[in-house]
Chains A and B, each alone.
Chain A
């Protein structure tokens, strides 16, 4: 088992192999995303029963929860890619890490916007300093910090290494920030308002799971498309890219 992971690791380390392989995988991933998200959303919007407490506004959950888990997962993935960049100095990892940041940031932003919109009918205000929303806001700032540093450094390699250090430091701080924000939130707002009703009926839960898996497929698709651009950008001098560009 370990040998195959090692082999895959080295194979996917070469930009050309990564480009070709992901090109083949892309259609399947897109199909997976569509086949999961469309049914999940339609089921969640149209067929899931209204919540006895919140009526229909809870249906925003089918976008909000996947976005939240993706924003968090993407940051951790960026930190792991950062470790690979710093320890094994793999160029491919640099390109993947660089492409994750904007996607993760958009999902963090999406999570905040949908959370705020969901909050309006539920709590009567657009923004509530709820522990999870506040942690997500700080996560978005962390993303912005990583992207700002990435743009500030011209040399692609030192940019990748600098952002790797920053995303690792950020990843170490995420649990600390989460814990302190939750402590701060309970201090100032004892009545903790839960976003969703306590026990979720299965008709509500299954579409949510479909959406979450679907969003992870979607994330894979977006990441692969962005990383392939990064490969063309950084490998444009190599002749495999030149042939690729010339014959189509």
Chain B
């Protein structure tokens, strides 16, 4: 059993006076993929925002690699990747500039040429080989999405927190992303994602939300 990454205990969250999640508890080890399911408004995105640190409107405990989150917050921020509905890609910049900014924000060590080659190979992998310096507003919706997905190729992170990653991607893209997720898990990372898409990934764990009164079910 590989290292325990995320440990959640007694997590409950109330949103405008109704109990969204009550006493949620689960552990996420390296190599595991957890899909969060539930109807719209059942608190999927709220849970994602709590787990990745955007929202602190909750009671309960969150531990990252054995330490409570408020103690190793910096380390957690460096070791996880958040991929939200809004991808964070600025349309007036080119894919290269977007990725360079995101990586520098993450405190990636590489500089200059090493960073550029890494970005180029990542863009190549998502099929944007010759589009490195085209402003993103000139790209198609699918290509815009793939610029964001290039982050998964290059951004160093142990835990991937993906919010609806499969939206606006064609069938080929979906298959590629599923393969990427499995590959990340096989190399010791873990993935936490919300999607309505039926994933055929072996060993996939599911967390069911929105069963009323903050109940949840984990298989």
Q: List A residues at the B interface (Cβ < 8 Å).
A: 155, 157, 237
A–B complex contacts, Cβ < 8 Å, 3 sampled: A155-B16, A157-B57, A237-B17
What are the residues of chain B within 8 A of A237 when measuring CB–CB?
Answer: 17
Chain B residue with minimal CB distance to A154?
B16
What are the residues of chain A within 8 A of B16 when measuring CB–CB?
Answer: 155
What are the residues of chain A within 8 A of B17 when measuring CB–CB?
Answer: 237
- Least distance between B159 CB and chain A CB atoms (Å): 26
- In the assembly, what is the distance between CA of A157 and CA of B57, in Å? 9
- In the assembly, what is the distance between CA of A64 and CA of B57, in Å? 43
- Least distance between B196 CB and chain A CB atoms (Å): 26
The 3 closest A-B pairs by CB, nearest first: A237-B17, A155-B16, A157-B57
- In the assembly, what is the distance between CA of A155 and CA of B16, in Å? 7
Interface size on B, residues (CB 8 A): 3
Q: List B residues at the A interface (Cβ < 8 Å).
A: 16-17, 57
- In the assembly, what is the distance between CA of A157 and CA of B56, in Å? 12
- Least distance between B55 CB and chain A CB atoms (Å): 10
- In the assembly, what is the distance between CA of A157 and CA of B13, in Å? 13
What are the residues of chain B within 8 A of A157 when measuring CB–CB?
Answer: 57
Chain A residue with minimal CB distance to B15?
A155
What are the residues of chain B within 8 A of A155 when measuring CB–CB?
Answer: 16
Chain A residue with minimal CB distance to B16?
A155
Chain A residue with minimal CB distance to B55?
A158
Chain A residue with minimal CB distance to B17?
A237
- Least distance between B19 CB and chain A CB atoms (Å): 10
Chain A residue with minimal CB distance to B56?
A89
- In the assembly, what is the distance between CA of A120 and CA of B17, in Å? 52
Chain B residue with minimal CB distance to A157?
B57
- In the assembly, what is the distance between CA of A237 and CA of B16, in Å? 11
- Least distance between B78 CB and chain A CB atoms (Å): 26
- In the assembly, what is the distance between CA of A245 and CA of B57, in Å? 29
Chain A residue with minimal CB distance to B57?
A157
- In the assembly, what is the distance between CA of A237 and CA of B18, in Å? 9
- In the assembly, what is the distance between CA of A114 and CA of B5, in Å? 65
- In the assembly, what is the distance between CA of A157 and CA of B17, in Å? 11
- In the assembly, what is the distance between CA of A155 and CA of B57, in Å? 12
What are the residues of chain A within 8 A of B57 when measuring CB–CB?
Answer: 157
- In the assembly, what is the distance between CA of A51 and CA of B16, in Å? 58
- Least distance between A59 CB and chain B CB atoms (Å): 50
- In the assembly, what is the distance between CA of A155 and CA of B17, in Å? 10
- Least distance between A238 CB and chain B CB atoms (Å): 10
- Least distance between A87 CB and chain B CB atoms (Å): 13
- Least distance between B56 CB and chain A CB atoms (Å): 9
- In the assembly, what is the distance between CA of A155 and CA of B55, in Å? 14
- In the assembly, what is the distance between CA of A237 and CA of B17, in Å? 7
Chain B residue with minimal CB distance to A236?
B17
